[in-house]
Amino acid sequence: MNQTAQIVVLGGGPAGGATALGLKKLGYPVMVIAESRPFEAVEGISDRVVEGLRNAGFTQALANLPEPSPRLASWNGATNSANTERLINRSQLDKGILLDLEAAGVTVIRGRVAKTVAQDHGYQVVLKDESAEPLHADFLVEARGRSAPGAGLERLRGSETVSLLQRWQGEPCKPQSAAQSFADGWAWMAAWSDGTRYLQLTFDVATADLPDKAGLIDHCNAILQTLPSAQPFLENAIPADSIHARTSTPILCREAVGDKWIRVGDAAMAVDPLSGNGIFQALSSALQAPAVINTLLQQPENAALAKQFYQQRVDHLFFRFARIGRDFYASEQRWWDNPFWVTRRNWPDNEPLHQDTDPDSLQVVTMPVVSNSLIEVKEVVVTNDQPLGIWHLNGIEMAPVVQALQNRSENQSPEHCLQAQLSMRPDMASGLVGWLYRNGWLKR
């Protein structure tokens, strides 16, 4: 394979970092250009995200990972304290990501990308630092998160949303976080053992009627004072910084990949922070991107297939998170007619999050999958609930399984069919048949 193409990744957050590590493993020379986050932010991550970061190859980024701390959720008048999350300092995580990249042999340039210019054979990347020579990229990975330029691409946007965050300083305390809904939005609060608190309020841009910058602190403070779960975070604490606004509108890029570029992470699809899953979804697209890029560069004849594979996954993931968010907003019923809640419980559509699998919907079709770090067509099984298809289950190809079962005679048990047709061991056949019944692929 010819792997000499120079790939430049714009942005060094979780998505840009994971894509760069994946490309490096495939043998490509990769360069990441990243400037550090211009504001302090704390985010909550689950163990699933930690595992995702570790599997992507990050170690220094996870070096100072705190233990999980309690998370209180007050929603629709009920309070739940069963969950935990790890509170991470995003600047530290991002710094660790760049160290991991350097350790893996990725060239890291700490600086700001000013613009990219399309050329006959790739792109010219111009840095803000005018003394720096423009760089050449054969292939561009756009990973500048929500700051990535729209580039004139079609984008689907949910209700325009803004999150206002402010750092407060209080007395040392046990690390903890809390989320609570209020009439015009929802709040997320986090406290660190050193007494630092992060208070974040999320509003609807069109209807929140927010005051100008000078009045924002008082406005947010007045709301926080009304929230019971905010009180431990405000007690003996004072504002230690000005308010920083982060746009948090859900945005899906309807064209996330071209012949010589791809968008990953928030640049491809940014979800509502209510899900607390932004880093997870950023990693999901970034983990698929290297195989897509590899196909575009090594097998341009399969470009359409690779693009179809990637866009379908980005779309699918976005709508899944959007529907999870919609159903969660709908579960808050106290401010039913308030525009914040009306728009969010009705977007993006009325499709159910999941459908019960209908055994009659099972079909064997050919679809693009990742195989040997390339996108290739394989026979997969699609169901009404899994439109992107399932190729393998624990190493077992599912298309031959479904074909064998669909062609079996009426008096043959599924277990015997799999043993006879696919030479499957009895214990394996019985375990698989159990899975097929549990997941609605076989009727009782």
Between 103 and 122, how does the x/- string for binding to ligand FAD read (CB under 6 A)?
Answer: ---------xx---------
Instruction: Return the range that interacts with ligand FAD (CB under 6 A); candidates 34-42, 50-58, 225-233, 347-355.
Output: 34-42
Report how far residue 16's alpha carbon sits from residue 268's, in angstroms, rounded to the nearest whole number.
11
Q: Is 9 in the site for ligand FAD (CB under 6 A)?
A: no
Residues 6+ apart with CB under 8 A from 65: 50, 86, 88
Which of 57, 276, 290, 389 forms a contact with ligand FAD (CB under 6 A)? 276
172-211 positions binding ligand FAD, by CB under 6 A:
200
Instruction: Return the range that interacts with ligand FAD (CB under 6 A); candidates 144-152, 216-224, 250-258, 340-348.
Output: 144-152
CB of 307 vs ligand FAD, minimal distance in Å: 20
C-alpha pair distances (Å), 7 with each of 22, 151, 285, 287, 402? 12, 19, 17, 16, 41
Which secondary-structure segment (H or E) carries 222? helix 213-226
By beta-carbon proximity to ligand FAD, the closer residue of 122 and 265 is: 265
Which of 6, 29, 35, 243 forms a contact with ligand FAD (CB under 6 A)? 35
Q: Is 155 in the site for ligand FAD (CB under 6 A)?
A: no
CB of 246 vs ligand FAD, minimal distance in Å: 4
Report how far residue 214's alpha carbon sits from residue 260's, in angstroms, rounded to the nearest whole number.
45
Beta strands in 132-221 (DSSP E): 135-137, 139-142, 155-157, 161-169, 176-182, 185-191, 196-204
Binding-residue total with ligand FAD (CB under 6 A): 35
Q: Are 388 and 364 in contact (CB under 8 A)?
A: no
- Residue 217 exposed, middle or buried by CB count within 10 Å (0-12, 13-18, 19+): middle
67-106 positions binding ligand FAD, by CB under 6 A:
94
Report how far residue 444's alpha carbon sits from residue 433's, in angstroms, rounded to the nearest whole number.
11
41-60 positions binding ligand FAD, by CB under 6 A:
43-45, 49
Residues 6+ apart with CB under 8 A from 33: 8, 9, 10, 11, 12, 109, 111, 113, 125, 127, 135
What letters, b where the CB count within 10 A reaches 16 and e where it falls short, cover 95-119? bbbbebbeebebebbeeebeebeee
By beta-carbon proximity to ligand FAD, the closer residue of 157 and 425 is: 157
Between 281 and 320, how does the x/- string for binding to ligand FAD read (CB under 6 A)?
Answer: -x--------------------------------------
Instruction: Return the range that interacts with ligand FAD (CB under 6 A); candidates 272-280, 295-303, 364-372, 416-424.
Output: 272-280
Instruction: Return the range that interacts with ligand FAD (CB under 6 A); candidates 137-145, 208-216, 318-326, 434-442.
Output: 137-145
Length of the chain: 444
- Positions touching ligand FAD (CB under 6 A) are 11-16, 33-37, 43-45, 49, 94, 112-113, 143-145, 147, 163, 200, 246, 248, 265-267, 273, 276-279, 282
